């Protein structure tokens, strides 16, 4: 069990730069309020860029930013005087959470020099210094601290251009075209740099791994594969600065609302839906005590300076959709955040809506065409497509408010509520818009669910999350009382399972960590219902694509259907050796990981053997397929079945079942699982159809034997702990050898008297693989 530290009083720490860190106040050198002439100004003279640095700015923290290709990188910097030079330094960040974020990972230095620039002239009358920053902006490859930060590589000076500068209040923006090599071509790409004055830090909210918020150093805390489970870390969450205008009221308008500006490029017919997607979060902020916390601004024109000021949060309309051969794998959107690392304040959050109309409609078709007649022909009516853009926008807005991707309360909703209209209207079909759930495909046509209830919306867990993160406490509330109140809110997860958050990492340890499907407390039943709708959708495809001049869209829909089928059956596979998950502090009752009931695990294995590994004809051979294919290649169904098989035999899964043997007092549980899996895969050995086995089943059986042998023979790095995660234990290898020996005996016994079987060669091949391995083991 992991201990989540609840800090009631932080120790006071006096740092060398005069900063006092505690739980109540932070005294720091800031630019409280700078008039335009007191901040940085710049001018372009010929092909050179000159910066004027006032005396008042020296050694004051500010942000240095760069925006290119949807990435807005940033770092905290200071300008300092060093002899006859002005030095630009990136700083380590003193966080109000009580820690220091390093300039360079692994180094305890307080700052790092980015540039040393000779003073051209001293403006005595204005009390400042003039320096040439052309090389810094156009030619230097700066190492930004973000994991996916901007990177240009070697510059190409001859096609690099300074296009303009603009001084706004406490902000300077520089517009360039920077020469670089991208995808083998020399390009002069638009890049925007900026400097932004930092004011006083807002009051941060302490990071808690039980709540699904980004931390102040975006992606700086990763749970990863931890032998002792996920870990809490000392940090602030990323959130907006919201302060009540009337602090004594339960519900108050904020001093300054969160404003999103819609890019003029967004088609007017979609703007109401995108606006509605952002405004879906208004009730969540009301739950936190804020009325009218979000404002959406529409405009038909916007200059480059307004687009790139940190004071504006933009909603962009991705240009990729208008170019030939866009990346069709990109489902929807992304965001770009600029965060004040001192407190976690989100200074700017951009939303990039990249999904094309076709992408959204295809995803909805394969899930809901059987439930929504509007979705049975293309293009969809605008009101339906608009709802899909609204749902996409609502998800991305959650990120712009600080929420992470993850699994919020998944595998918690009762399966019987999925066709309950009252439940769906009040609770939705998934607890959170932040889940990768997609449209609802569990109800059946006879349930007559209104189509509006099939589209994902902001849910009850989102209201709970925003309330925890943004709730203000009355003036005079002690740190201990505030921390206690927040902990009480977190502890609601003990009784309300759909409030629980867990981070989807490399190991999918249960159905609460899968994506792309609607999850309930009965994965087998909900998957069976969803696959019925998928079968219906495949049958509707030819008619829906009848007006097309080729089969591109038809095959695209079919391939996406195969992807969805795989996600559904993988969801069921996660039950086998799976756990219920609840992140906890050490003094919470219950367990961090609780094994799923063995009855449900057995049902899941039976479903996989009878449904997923038996190649359903409606999936593998729809009527339209024969007329448009000339080969059995590619066989994506078989590929997915082989992936499922490898997953069923993977070392992480078997290690989990091995742990359950001890924890549940079932010493032969792993052996029973391997026996059941092998018996199900080789059922045709004793069946009446011994000689007429499906060709895919033959491939799966050979893949099974090959993988069993490979995993036994693989020797992991015995003394490297992380490498052992992917390597089977000696105990498991012994069980696998026993299974292969039993399989050999079974094949020899069952093929006697069946010399005329057309599958005799297949069985002989299986025996040859097993014999070759067993001989090498002797």
d(CA 509, CA 582): 12
Query: So what's the pLDDT on residue 689?
Result: 56
Q: 34 or 159: whose pLDDT is higher?
A: 159
Query: So what's the pLDDT on residue 33?
Result: 38
Question: pLDDT > 90: what percent of the chain?
Answer: 72
Q: Of the given ranges (117-131, 221-235, 265-279), which has the lowest mean pLDDT? A: 221-235
Query: So what's the pLDDT on residue 3?
Result: 32
Tokens 């050198």 found at: 29
pTM: predicted TM-score of the whole model, two decimal places = 0.91
* 256-277 pLDDT per residue, tens: 999 999 999 999 999 999 999 9
Query: So what's the pLDDT on residue 655?
Result: 95
Helices vs. strands in the chain: H and E counts, helices first? 20, 24
Query: So what's the pLDDT on residue 281?
Result: 98
Q: Mean pLDDT over residues 510-532, rounded? A: 96
Task: Please enumerate in sequence order all residues whose Cβ is within 8 A of that of 655, keeping only pairs 6 or more positions apart, or say none.
Answer: 725, 729, 732
Query: Is the pLDDT score of 325 beyond 70?
Result: no
Query: So what's the pLDDT on residue 233?
Result: 86
Query: Is the pLDDT score of 553 beyond 50?
Result: yes
Query: Is the pLDDT score of 342 beyond 70?
Result: yes
End-to-end CA distance of the chain: 43
d(CA 401, CA 433): 13
Is residue 121 within 8 Å of residue 132, measured between CB atoms? no
Band of residue 220 on the pLDDT scale cut at 50, 70, 90? low
* 638-692 pLDDT per residue, tens: 999 999 999 999 999 999 999 999 999 999 999 999 999 999 999 877 665 555 6
Instruction: Tell me which of 1.10.3470, 3.40.390, 3.40.50, 3.30.1360 is the CATH number of domain 258-504.
Output: 3.40.390
Query: Is the pLDDT score of 25 beyond 60?
Result: no
* 696-735 pLDDT per residue, tens: 999 999 999 999 999 999 886 666 766 777 889 899 999 9
Supply 752's token pair: 């006697």
Q: Mean pLDDT over residues 97-107, rounded? A: 85
Q: Mean pLDDT over residues 90-102, rounded? A: 91
Query: So what's the pLDDT on residue 716?
Result: 67
Query: Is the pLDDT score of 278 beyond 70?
Result: yes
Is residue 569 within 8 Å of residue 493, measured between CB atoms? no
How many CA atoms, within 13 angstroms, populate the side-chain half-sphere of residue 619?
26
Is residue 118 within 8 Å of residue 112, measured between CB atoms? no
Positions of CATH 3.40.390 in the chain? 258-504
Return mean pLDDT, the chain: 88
SS3 annotation, 338-380: EEECCCCEEEEEEEEECCCHHHHHHHHHHHHCCCCHHHCCCCC
Question: pLDDT > 70: what percent of the chain?
Answer: 89
Q: 568 or 70: whose pLDDT is higher?
A: 568
d(CA 479, CA 643): 51
Query: Is the pLDDT score of 227 beyond 60?
Result: no
How many CA atoms, within 13 angstroms, populate the side-chain half-sphere of residue 397?
31
- Alpha helices (H) along 504-650: 523-544, 552-573, 598-607, 617-620, 623-626, 636-648
Query: Is the pLDDT score of 46 beyond 50?
Result: yes
Is residue 371 within 8 Å of residue 439, measured between CB atoms? no
* 281-308 pLDDT per residue, tens: 999 999 999 999 999 999 999 999 999 9
Q: Residue 632 region, left (φ>0) first, then alpha (ψ -120 to 50), else beta?
A: alpha
Q: Mean pLDDT over residues 549-577, rounded? A: 96
């Amino acid at each position: 069990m992991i201990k989540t530290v609840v800090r009631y009083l932080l120790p006071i720490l006096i740092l060398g730069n005069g900063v006092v860190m505690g739980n109540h106040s932070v005294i720091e050198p800031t630019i409280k309020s700078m008039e335009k002439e007191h901040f940085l100004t710049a001018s372009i003279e010929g092909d050179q860029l000159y910066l004027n640095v006032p005396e008042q700015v020296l050694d004051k923290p500010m942000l240095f930013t760069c925006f290119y290709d949807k990435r807005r990188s940033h770092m905290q910097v200071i300008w300092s005087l060093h002899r006859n030079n002005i030095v630009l330094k990136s700083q380590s960040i003193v966080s109000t959470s009580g820690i220091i974020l390093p300039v360079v990972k692994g180094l305890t230095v307080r700052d790092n020099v980015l540039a040393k620039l000779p003073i051209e002239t001293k403006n005595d009358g204005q009390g400042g210094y003039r320096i040439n920053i052309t090389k810094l902006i156009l030619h230097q490859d700066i190492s930004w601290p973000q994991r996916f930060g901007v990177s240009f590589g070697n510059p190409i000076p001859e096609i690099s251009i300074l296009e303009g500068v603009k001084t706004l209040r406490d902000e300077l923006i520089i517009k360039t075209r920077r020469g670089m090599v991208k995808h083998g071509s020399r390009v002069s790409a638009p890049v925007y740099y900026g400097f932004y004055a930092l004011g006083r830090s807002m009051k941060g909210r302490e990071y808690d791994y039980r709540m699904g918020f980004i931390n102040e150093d975006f992606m700086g805390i990763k749970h990863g594969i931890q032998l002792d489970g996920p870990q809490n870390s000392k940090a602030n969450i990323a959130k907006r600065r919201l302060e009540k205008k009337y602090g004594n009221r339960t519900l108050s308008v904020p001093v300054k609302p969160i404003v999103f500006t819609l890019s003029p490029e967004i088609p007017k017919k979609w703007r109401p839906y995108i606006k509605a997607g952002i405004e879906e979060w208004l009730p969540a902020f009301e739950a936190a005590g804020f009325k009218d916390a979000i404002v959406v601004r529409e405009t038909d024109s916007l200059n480059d300076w307004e687009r790139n000021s940190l004071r504006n949060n933009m909603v962009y309309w991705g240009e990729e959709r208008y170019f030939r051969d866009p990346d069709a794998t990109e489902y929807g959107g992304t965001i770009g955040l600029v965060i004040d690392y001192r407190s976690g304040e989100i200074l700017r959050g951009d939303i990039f809506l990249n999904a094309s109309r076709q992408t959204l409609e295809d995803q909805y078709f394969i899930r809901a065409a059987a439930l929504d007649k509007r979705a049975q022909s293309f293009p969809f009516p605008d009101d339906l497509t608009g709802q899909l853009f609204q749902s996409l926008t609502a998800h991305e807005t959650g990120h712009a408010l600080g929420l992470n991707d993850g699994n919020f309360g998944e595998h918690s909703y009762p399966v019987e509520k999925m066709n309950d209209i009252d439940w769906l209207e009040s609770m939705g079909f998934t607890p959170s818009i932040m889940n990768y759930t997609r449209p609802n495909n569990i109800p059946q046509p006879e349930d007559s669910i209104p189509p509006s209830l099939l589209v994902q919306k902001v849910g009850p867990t989102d209201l709970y999350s925003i309330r925890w993160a943004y709730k203000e406490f009355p003036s005079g509330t002690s740190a201990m009382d505030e921390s206690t109140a927040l902990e009480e809110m977190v502890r609601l997860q003990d009784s309300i399972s759909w409030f629980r958050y867990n981070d989807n990492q490399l190991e999918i340890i249960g159905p609460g960590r899968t994506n792309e499907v609607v999850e309930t407390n009965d994965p087998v039943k909900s998957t069976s219902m969803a696959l019925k709708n998928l079968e219906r959708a495949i049958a509707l495809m030819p008619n829906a694509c009848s007006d097309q001049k080729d089969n591109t869209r038809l095959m695209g829909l079919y391939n996406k259907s195969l992807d969805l089928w795989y996600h559904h059956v993988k969801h069921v596979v996660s039950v086998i050796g799976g756990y219920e998950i609840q992140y906890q502090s050490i003094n919470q009752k219950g367990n961090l990981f609780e094994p799923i009931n063995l009855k449900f695990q057995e049902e899941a294995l039976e479903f996989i053997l009878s449904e997923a590994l038996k190649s359903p004809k409606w999936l593998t051979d729809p009527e339209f397929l024969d007329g448009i294919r000339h080969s059995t290649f590619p066989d994506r169904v078989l590929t997915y079945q082989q992936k499922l098989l490898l997953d069923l035999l993977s070392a992480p899964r078997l290690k989990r079942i091995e742990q359950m043997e001890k924890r549940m007092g079932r010493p032969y549980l792993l052996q029973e699982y391997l026996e059941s899996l092998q018996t199900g895969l080789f059922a045709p050995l004793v069946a009446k159809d011994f000689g007429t086995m499906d060709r895919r089943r033959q491939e799966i059986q050979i893949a099974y034997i090959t993988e069993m042998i490979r995993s036994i023979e693989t020797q992991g790095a015995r003394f490297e702990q992380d490498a052992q995660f992917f390597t089977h234990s000696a105990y498991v290898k012994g069980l696998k050898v026993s299974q292969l020996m039993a399989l050999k005996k079974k094949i020899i016994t069952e093929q006697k008297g069946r010399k005329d079987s057309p599958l005799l060669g297949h069985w002989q091949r299986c025996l040859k693989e097993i014999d070759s391995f067993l001989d090498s083991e002797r």
